């Protein structure tokens, strides 16, 4: 098989760069591509990371897994593009200073477009033809700490089997909290635009895909990297690419409604809750101070599951304090 024009024989691995653009200072813009092709035939699982340039934990999980997996143990092919947005990565930023576009709103991309649209096109046109399954790795932004969770979307236009397979992949990944977002009823619930997102485009092309949200951005978070490292292998086991049993927890939380909680005042926040915890209605979430006094206390208006909490204490009115689930069920 060929990936980005590189021939990959059974029982071999590839570690290469793909040129996706050029800079004014005469350097090429390149993205890394790592492939392991097992000796036995099987599906192609494609992992993508750092489409937002400061979201780094998935990148390291992929790198570690690439060198730990033995080709003789693998059925099928694992393709890793751990760094989709090198210009944003260079700027330690979610988006690139070349065009200020969110690359995860540009798929399927445009070969005649701006930098982010061109990279999106280069990656998606290859992935669309080669991938049977996709996992897209993200993090919350660098101001937050977060418990690792998955997001699978019910995408209008995708086959029922695609929506079901994406869900079973998230379950196999094996983290406790999982967000299930029905795009038909999710208007206003998600942050920002959702069209042009890689996971949605994959689903519309009937390539089962989910997002794994791995902690906060701008740092290595070793426990979260380990969760991703094990989660990828769990999914590979569930797809028949590796032998063994997936190590999913017996109970998992399926969050069907979620939202950001925002501060109404400015000041210095001390969060009273940790990501990954439940807070009953009326429970204290955060206290905000100035240099003389408490200026506000924020309480839960309903039972909540805290997905992510503000890590940086600086808040202005309108800033996000926490990302929470407020409707969920447990699934076995
Ligand atoms: Zn992201």
From ligand 1's centre to the CA of 82, what distance in Å?
13
From ligand 1's centre to the CA of 231, what distance in Å?
18
Q: Are residues 205 and 322 in the same domain?
A: no
Can you give the CATH number for the domain in which 59 is found?
3.40.630.10
Q: Are residues 283 and 199 in the same domain?
A: no
Mean pLDDT of the 93-120 span? 97
From ligand 1's centre to the CA of 317, what distance in Å?
24
From ligand 1's centre to the CA of 55, what distance in Å?
6
Counting the structural domains of the chain, the total is 2
Q: Are residues 136 and 37 in the same domain?
A: yes
Summarize pLDDT for 1-26 with one digit per residue, the tens: 999 999 999 999 999 999 999 999 99
Pairing of strands 177-182, 252-262: parallel
Summarize pLDDT for 256-282 with one digit per residue, the tens: 999 999 999 999 999 999 999 999 999
Mean pLDDT of the 69-89 span? 97
From ligand 1's centre to the CA of 84, what distance in Å?
11
From ligand 1's centre to the CA of 25, what distance in Å?
28
Looking at residue 190, its pLDDT comes to 53
From ligand 1's centre to the CA of 283, what distance in Å?
30
From ligand 1's centre to the CA of 146, what distance in Å?
13
From ligand 1's centre to the CA of 244, what distance in Å?
31
From ligand 1's centre to the CA of 120, what distance in Å?
14
> What span, in angstroms and rounded, lies between the C-alpha atoms of 100 and 156?
29
Q: Which domain holds residue 323?
A: 256-331
Question: Domain ends where: 249, 280, 299?
Answer: 249
Contact at 8 Å (CB) between 103 and 85?
Answer: yes
Contact at 8 Å (CB) between 96 and 31?
Answer: no
From ligand 1's centre to the CA of 309, what distance in Å?
16
From ligand 1's centre to the CA of 156, what distance in Å?
22
Q: Are residues 145 and 277 in the same domain?
A: no
Summarize pLDDT for 123-176 with one digit per residue, the tens: 999 999 999 999 999 999 999 999 999 999 999 889 999 999 999 999 999 999
Q: Are residues 283 and 217 in the same domain?
A: no
Q: Are residues 218 and 173 in the same domain?
A: yes
Strands (E), the chain: 2-3, 6-7, 12-22, 28-37, 40-49, 75-81, 133-138, 144-146, 149-154, 177-182, 209-213, 252-262, 267-271, 278-279, 284-289, 294-299, 304-310, 314-315, 320-331
Contact at 8 Å (CB) between 230 and 247?
Answer: yes
Q: Which residues surround ligand 1, an ion (CB under 5 A)?
A: 52, 55, 138
From ligand 1's centre to the CA of 224, what distance in Å?
15
Q: Are residues 147 and 272 in the same domain?
A: no
From ligand 1's centre to the CA of 263, what distance in Å?
23
Summarize pLDDT for 174-226 with one digit per residue, the tens: 999 999 998 887 655 554 557 899 999 999 999 999 999 999 999 999 999 99
Q: Are residues 222 and 82 in the same domain?
A: yes
Identify the band that residue 249 occupies on the pLDDT scale cut at 50, 70 and 90. confident
Q: Are residues 271 and 237 in the same domain?
A: no
Q: Are residues 158 and 233 in the same domain?
A: yes
Three-class SS of residue 46?
A: strand
User: Average model confidence (pLDDT) for the chain?
Assistant: 95
Angle between helices 57-68 and 222-238 (to 10 degrees): 60
Question: Domain ends where: 202, 223, 249?
Answer: 249
From ligand 1's centre to the CA of 140, what distance in Å?
7
Q: Are residues 149 and 220 in the same domain?
A: yes
Question: Domain ends where: 249, 267, 285?
Answer: 249
Can you give the CATH number for the domain in which 323 is found?
2.40.50.100
Three-class SS of residue 58?
A: helix
Q: Are residues 230 and 81 in the same domain?
A: yes
From ligand 1's centre to the CA of 4, what distance in Å?
24
Mean pLDDT of the 303-310 span? 97
> What span, in angstroms and rounded, lies between the C-alpha atoms of 120 and 52?
12
């Amino acid at each position: 098989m060929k990936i980005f024009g590189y021939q990959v024989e059974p029982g071999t691995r590839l570690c290469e760069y793909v040129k996706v653009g050029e800079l004014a200072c005469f350097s090429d813009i390149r993205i890394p591509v790592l492939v392991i092709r097992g000796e036995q035939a099987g599906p192609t699982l494609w992992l993508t990371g750092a489409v937002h340039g400061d979201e780094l934990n998935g990148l390291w999980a992929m790198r570690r897994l690439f060198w730990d997996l033995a080709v003789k143990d693998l059925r099928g092919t694992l393709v890793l593009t751990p760094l989709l947005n090198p210009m944003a990565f260079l700027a330690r930023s979610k988006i690139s200073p070349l065009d200020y576009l969110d690359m995860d709103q540009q798929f399927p991309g445009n070969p005649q477009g701006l930098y982010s649209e061109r990279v999106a096109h280069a990656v998606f046109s290859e992935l669309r033809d080669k991938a049977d399954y996709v996992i897209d790795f993200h993090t919350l932004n660098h101001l937050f700490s977060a418990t690792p969770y998955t997001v699978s979307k019910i995408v209008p236009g995708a086959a029922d089997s695609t929506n079901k397979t994406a869900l079973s992949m998230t379950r196999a990944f094996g983290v406790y909290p999982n967000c299930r977002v029905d795009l038909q009823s999710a208007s206003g619930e998600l942050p920002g635009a959702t069209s042009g997102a890689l996971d949605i485009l994959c689903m519309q092309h009937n390539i089962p895909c989910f997002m794994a949200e791995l902690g906060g951005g701008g740092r290595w978070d070793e426990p979260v990297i380990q969760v991703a490292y094990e989660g990828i292998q769990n999914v590979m086991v569930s797809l028949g690419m590796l032998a063994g049993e997936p190590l999913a927890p017996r109970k998992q939380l399926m969050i069907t409604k979620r939202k950001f909680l925002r501060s109404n005042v400015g000041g210095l926040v001390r969060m009273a809750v940790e990501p990954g915890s439940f807070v009953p209605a009326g429970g204290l979430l955060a206290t905000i101070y100035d240099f003389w006094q408490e200026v506000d206390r924020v309480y839960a208006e309903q039972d909540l599951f805290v997905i992510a909490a503000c890590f940086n204490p600086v808040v202005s009115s309108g800033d996000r304090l926490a990302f929470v689930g407020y409707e969920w069920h447990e699934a076995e």
